[in-house]
A and B are shown apart, each in its own frame.
Chain A
Amino acid sequence: MQLALRDITKRFGALVANDHISLTVEPGEIHCLLGENGAGKSTLMNVLYGLYQADEGQILLDGEPRHFSGPGDAMAAGIGMVHQHFMLIPVFTVAENVMLGHEATRLGGTLDLDAARARVREISDRFGFHLDPDARVEDLPVGVQQRVEIVKALSRDAEVLVFDEPTAVLTPQETDELMAIMRQLRDAGTAIVFITHKLREVREVADRITVIRLGKVVGEAEPTASNAELAALMVGRAVELTVAKQPARTGDDALVVSGLTVTDAGGQVHLDDVDFTIRAGEVLAVAGVQGNGQTELTEALVGLQQHVRGSIRLDGHELVGRSVRDVLDSGVGFIPEDRQIDGLVGAFSIAENLMLDRSTDAPFVRRGAVQRDALEAFARDRLTEYDVRAPGIHTPVANLSGGNQQKVVVARELSRDLRLLVAAQPTRGVDVGSIEFIHKQLIATRDAGIPVLVVSTELDEVVALADRIMVLYRGRVVGIVPADTPRDVLGLMMTGERPSGVSA
């Protein structure tokens, strides 16, 4: 089935998310939609899937104009989607998830689970997925959950399949497997839309590439185009793919972590006997697929985890067992991985957010009262210094773009006297301009002699920032390797394989 989008326009208030976007996807082709965060890719796909209604434009299937008032219509027309955030019910079994929405029933609306199990087995056998229809989805690894999503779409005989940023949660190996599945589907005649911002994947799998920027199609490219060409098209200017930095001038061991073990309330071990050291003036970047203990590591460093054993020593002072307040006061700066949940109070103004982790004493609080003049002067300075694009310091941060929100967090954390900076996913969901700015700030922090721990699931970012790279897998350190370690070795390490010559 051929899919064509004609002049799709979607507005949110004054903002034009999609501006007359046209796109054609042929059966048996993998069509890549490339664009940076916020370019409007997901909005376009939500229009296609009936989750949003387009303000203008048409969706055509095999030349027929179609109107989708909801995902049900889109699915009935043969469009399936593998969502970036899986649309699976965690407490349901695989079979229940797959059957949901088109349930086979017996007399009186009773569910026919046997039919659903058979359907799951049939499809997963066809692609060699080995899915257990009765497994609860929340118990499955992320990669397997994604396969459930694919089976879900295929069980409705989807002829157009949209993959929305599918590799964000996968290891390089799982990514390769996914690519193989996509090719297999393509060869079976499915039209595939592959949404991503990762250049490498595009070049590997795409038959055609459409690049969008700021809601507009800015061009088509061949899979043979170079990374630099694609990046320039995506961002609209030449992009430095590497971060300019001098070799690190490292000092003494500043952060010494030994035997760090973190469990959750249910007793599950998330971080298992981790040892590492960061010297002053050095960036240690943590690589690994999401969910391998990175979150727990950064949170344990700041005192946010409840069940921690082992030792975290910063300049000789033990941090384990101390409150978050104490840890922050001892000079730890923290950029949390999800700014909207952990980093900012959306309804608060920029100024109020800038005092979030200094709400007890000077300079912003004196004798129990907030020192508003001091705070406002401080906020105005930071706004300029960190290039936060906002109408003023009293703007609620919820009204800022992702990049500007992140700059507020970075500004707040770097404005304290730091002895350690912990940055988790510092540029997730941020535009390229802000990424460059934040990377420069991180390197500047390093150059000021402060130890920096960066966690990122984007291997490019890890390689760009790191002086040394630590790879985590299932809560354990696979190895700590130099920044110039080849990517394929890093990729293998992310699956738990330890190259010889590397010590844990």
Chain B
Amino acid sequence: MPETGIREITFAEAVREALAEEMRRDSRVFIMGEDVAEAGTPFKVLSGLVEEFGTARVVDTPISEAGFTGVGVGAAMTGLRPVVDIMFGDFITLTMDQMANQAAKVHYMSGGKWKVPMVMRTTLGAARRSAAQHSQSLHAWFSHIPGLKVVLPATPYDAKGLLKSAIRDDNPVIFFEDKMSFKLKGPVPEAEYTIPLGVADIKRLGTDITLLGTSSMVQVALEAAVMLEQAGISAEVVDPRTTWPLDEHTLIESVKKTSRAIVIDEGYGRYGVAAEIAATIAEGAFHYLDGPVKRMGAMHVPIPFSPPLEDLTVPTGKTVFDTAMKLCGRS
């Protein structure tokens, strides 16, 4: 990346830039969802877009997630490229038939004749004191369904490049944004770029242990890596960036090098993304491992409201550090 032409912008600004650029590039791209136009969503991620593109392309909908997601599927099949906005990731429950039974299956069931070039943008992540119905990280649900692609950007740079690729993809893509990352700042080139779906990124090089983090947990892994460095342990931080397609090669190669792995994902620990990645590593790097692959995720409880309780449910730099120390025989 050249030094010139790089600014620091927030995650939310990166998302907004990706949308604006793609909407300028392709008149078929439009946004549809609750409070997306003048309000720019409760997180203000879309502020300013309706002023540039008008209400025909930044479309406010009723609170009808199933309905407007289904409309997105049909519009995508017939010549438009919708970006459907689901305000909170918890509300994907309401869109499940449209995504899992319709969007995911149209291409296959039609023998490859119809396509669904559609993006669903939604959120994940706890720690906002929003309680059990506005705090979940449900990306494993979509990752389970053949026909869908799932993107988990962790930085402003990744958010912009991956969202542009998602919009240009001819498949239904679900793009999860961590609510706590919207204000995260990071370097983003001014020049146009895209990041292909299915390519992991090594966020920090290391030799003793691999911390595989997704989305919100990438920053947690980086924080733990700094603490581990002070304890004399060199941690590599790898971010898959997409759960499907999954860059198995990069994950496995990192663990072959370090011999130890912790997978950190904010979804529920049981039957989740962390379990799948841990199994992938166990299968691909078994003979290189010096210990079991550890999983860290949200506790298996509905996310509680009370701040001291909520904070217990999600991995932190400290809990990842402690787990890593144990795995390295240093506790």
Interaction A to B = no
